[in-house]
Structure 1
Amino acid sequence: MKRTTVAWLAVAAVLSLIVAYQVVDAAGERADWYIAQADAPVVAPGADVMAGIELIPARIRSYDYRRAAFGEAWDDNNDAPGGHNGCDTRNDILNRDLVDKVFVAIKRCPDAVASGTLHDPYTNATVAFVRGNQVGASVQIDHIVPLALAWDLGARDWTDAMRLRFANDPANLLAVQGQANQDKSDGEPAVWMPPNHAFWCQYSVQFIAVLRGYALSVDEASAGTLREAAATCPTG
């Protein structure tokens, strides 16, 4: 598979949480993207982190969004570390992002997280996770670029396969505190940013990477917020 040149890698090295992942390019073709581990993204001095991303005056909220357009949540056709292993995307992301884990075998997933600890990037809280219908909700899997937002920014015109891929792309997923995920809902950066300001650098760089990788536009107010957040990154 031909490796796509990733222009923004000259701008930043991204989240230590995500070592390797795949997204799609503007043509809808899967492209390999490798992101080196780093303590924090490093932004080149004077770089415009929004370069190449289409700006629109404002988000126009549509009323035809439906979660089912992005496929069944979740599937096992993802590229999280150890993906295609019988575990769905949610279980893969819990395994990737939690620490102090205890595992249990469920259905086709031999290594589902039964319990663990999340150091939540959105709030800087330490959250205990225990699998279960109620207690498990303390940790949720967030789409960094929310599905409903992506729909408004261009995903409505994608194929079903591309939307399914987006919904299960580890590059767009984080395990986070449940309440923070609920507070964010489908808010764009101009409306919601993580309460933990120390995470703004990583959040903005990852948000921008997903926009660019999927050729999504963004509203001007959110572009300004993302630029300000990226400005908190170390330079080099």
Structure 2
Amino acid sequence: MRAATTTRRGGIAALGVSVALLLGACAGGLEPATPGVDDVAPSDLAAPSDLAAPSDLPAPSDEPAPSDAPVSSGTSPAGTALAALEGLPVKGRAPKTGYSRDQFGPAWADVDHNGCDTRNDVLARDLTRTVTDPDTHDCIVLSGVLADPYTATRIDFLRGQATSTAVQIDHVVALSDAWQKGAQQLDGVARRQLANDPLNLLAVDGPTNSGKGDGDAATWLPPSKAFRCQYVARQVAVKQAYALWVTQAEHDAIAGILSRCPDEPLPSGGPAPRVDAGPDDAGSDDTSPDDTSPDDTSSDDTGPTQEPFANCDAARAAGAAPVHRGDPGYSSRLDRDGDGTACE
């Protein structure tokens, strides 16, 4: 009898605890506890077909890496400027000792023997709406329009003593820079080729070119950001063609630009003209400035290449006066009024 009483008391106590818990839950507004996984029927679980299929997951981004992301060496597509950059030697800058513009031949020689000097060849290539002088076999460009790649502006070119320098012919790899990065080891013929190679020449805004001087990509880039990929790609192509090197700072600057356009092709201008030493190397009177001046500016262009007369007395003594623009021996220095006729 005592055992039954004990059992009944235990059952009542347990029932009391359950009722108390139930009343407490209702009074406190608590929700029933969430059943455990083991309490859920199999039919309540998500079927495998309800899970996201691989095709529903975000696809890998096709966007290029940020512009400041490092470029992996050896992974650039063949034929690109970036791949060519990876093959250029990286060295320190050599001393400028011994450099002069004369080390690269006269400016501007008729290296392709077409009767026109290099400056006018480039003007004819890069300008539109050109007007040429018929008395010079249409060699000399008298006027035209330049869509300047460096500033993305239009320049109306007019040949003349006071106006020709509005458009200058830039050596994309400045000759002084080339000299300090391997060109001093080239022979004279190769250096003349470098100075007259169309791949290394662009008609550009004169004042902007003057500001460039002999800077490399680490110290100077065109103001027009839209042209920078093409600009450094051309520098890489020239340095590759003539076995020149780059400094580490220059390499990094070019790589930074090309990381924004990794598929930029390496430009090809075809084989550089062969420049033979001899009388044909006697250039015009367009001398380049000294080492403290912009590297690649030029004065008023002249006609067919020949050593200009020293003065008008020499022209008269030779029976050549008056000397017309395009005639052998003509020099803008002798043409004081800039009308195309010297020693009148």
Identify whether the pair has TM-score above 0.5, normalized to the shorter chain. yes
* Partner-residue secondary structure (3-state), 1:153: coil
Q: Which has the higher contact order (CA 8 A, sep 6+)?
A: 1
Q: Does the residue aligned with 1:134 lie in a helix, a strand or coil?
A: coil
1:70 aligns with 2:70: no
Matched-pair identity in %: 42
Name the counterpart of 2:120: 91
49, 72, 87: which one pairs with 1:52?
87
Q: Which structure shows the bigger proportion of residues in helix conformation? A: 2
- Give structure 1 stretches of 5+ with no counterpart: 1-7, 13-42, 79-83
CA deviation after TM superposition for structure 1 residue 102, in Å? 1.1
Q: How far apart are residue 87 of structure 1 and its match?
A: 0.4
* Displacement of 1:125: 1.3
How far did residue 106 of structure 1 move?
A: 5.2
Conservation of the 8 A alpha-carbon contact between 1:49 and 1:230: no
Equivalent residues of 1:200, 1:232 under 8 A apart: no
Which residue does the alignment assign to 2:327? none
Structure 1 residues 148-187: aligned runs within 5 Å: 148-187=176-215
User: More strand by proportion, 1 or 2?
Assistant: 1
| Alignment correspondent of 1:140 | 168
Q: Which amino acid aligns with 1:93?
A: V
TM-score, normalised to structure 1, is 0.75
Deviation per CA, 1:123-147: give whole Å up to 9, x if none.
Answer: 1111110011220100000000000
**Match of 2:150?**
122
* Aligned mates of 1:154, 1:64 — CA distance in 2: 13
What one-letter code is carried by the residue in structure 2 that aligns with 1:10? A
The question of whether the paired residues in 1 share the 8 Å contact of 2:128 and 2:145 is answered with: yes
Alignment partners' CA distance in 1, 2:138 and 2:77? 35
- From 133, 137, 146, the equivalent of 1:104 is 133
Structure 1 segments, 4+ long, off by >3 Å, are none
Corresponding residue number in structure 1 for 2:55: none
CA shift at 1:69, angstroms? Answer: 0.7
Shift of 1:113: 1.2
Structure 2 CA distance for partners of 1:100 and 1:9, relative to 1, 3 Å: farther
Q: Does 1:10 align with 2:78?
A: yes
Q: 1:183: how far off?
A: 0.5
Please report how far the alpha carbon of residue 234 of structure 1 lies from its aligned counterpart in structure 2 after TM superposition.
6.1
Q: Which runs of 5+ in 2 are unaligned?
A: 1-75, 265-344
**Residue identity in the other structure for 1:189:** A
TM-score, scaled relative to structure 2: 0.52
One-letter identity of the residue aligned with 1:94:
L
Amino acid at match of 1:148: S
Q: How many pairs does the alignment contain?
A: 189
Aligned equivalents of 1:203 and 1:185: distance in 2?
15
Q: Distance in 2 between matches of 1:90 and 1:9?
A: 35
CA contact (8 A) 2:104 2:188 kept: yes
Distance in 2 between residues matched to 1:62 and 1:202, nearest whole Å: 27
Flag the structure with larger Rg. 2
- Following superposition, the deviation at residue 48 of structure 1 comes to 3.7
- In 1, the alpha carbon distance for the partners of 2:119 and 2:213 equals 18
